[in-house]
Amino acid sequence: MTRTWFITGASSGLGKEMAIRLLARGDRVIGTSRSADALKALSERYPDRFDAVPLDLTAPEDLRRAVDLAFDRHGRIDVIVSNAGYGLFGAAEELEPAEIDRQIATNLTGSIHLIRAALPHLRRQGGGRIVQVSSEGGQIAYPSFSLYHATKWGIEGFMEALAQEVAPFGISCIIAQPGPTGTNFGANLVVAEATRAYADTPAGAVRRAIGDGSFVVRGDAARTAAAMIDAADSETPPLRLTLGSTAYESISAALRARLAALEAQRDVAFAADRTDL
């Protein structure tokens, strides 16, 4: 059965990989990008099944109009893929206020506004699926990525609550958590100016690893995109979809460490309860 997908950030990375696979199998794709030119190749190759939509996620009213228009034009949209985003790199002290605001507006509030715009349409059509592209960085943290992690941890909390809110309407949610993957993510990093004070700290070590290429990237973009599509096609998709051995190992270790720390505080936690109940 032919399905219709709405994918933000369809001009590069995992969004583009998903669009290419979906169009090749005969589905319809509404793909967004900040630049219409970036979507030209897909528009020319699939003029009847690819709808290119220029869109800036940091403009909520434009975003809502684009979503409304997409549903009006195509009728039913089966899957919303909130994929667009980028990484702001640098120790927290090194970042500029405008960079911080743009990171949050793109990765966090932009995704929230997109999903909120789609919800009335999904309810009216009797259901659908929302795929939010997070990362292993929604469960763990690397130094020098503090603001990126703030957005990914934030969107995961939003999605976990949302999934409970919209399940009665037949709407299901997937939080995709790829590890480091061979896309152009690294090339699109916004890198803050280095501060000498952090040179010999963990933040400086990560900066050097990114700069000299020693930061290992094991994830394959095509396989990651295929796994996301498979999950969205599934009748019973997982809420969280962890992708890549790096993500699996790092998230597993972080969860075990957090659980051990929690269990060690059991007595302290219970001692904070009221005593008059």
Q: Give catalytic residue positions.
A: 134, 148, 152
Dihedral, CA atoms, 191, 197, 202, 204, nearest 10 degrees?
A: 40
Q: How far is 180 from 84, CA to CA, in rounded Å?
A: 16
CA 214 to chain centre: 24
Three-state SS at 85: coil
- Spatial distance between the Cα atoms of 224 and 178, rounded to a whole number of angstroms: 7
CB 10 within 8 A of CB 33: yes
Of the candidates 132, 156, 153, 133, the residue with the CA atom closest to the CA atom of residue 141: 153
Contacts 24+ apart (CB under 8 A), 58-67: 58/102, 58/105, 58/106, 58/110, 60/109, 60/113, 63/110, 63/113, 63/114, 63/117, 64/113, 64/117, 66/32, 67/6, 67/114, 67/117, 67/118, 67/121
Q: Which of 55, 68, 65, 91 is nearest to 192 (CA)?
A: 91
Contact 63, 109 (CB under 8 A): no
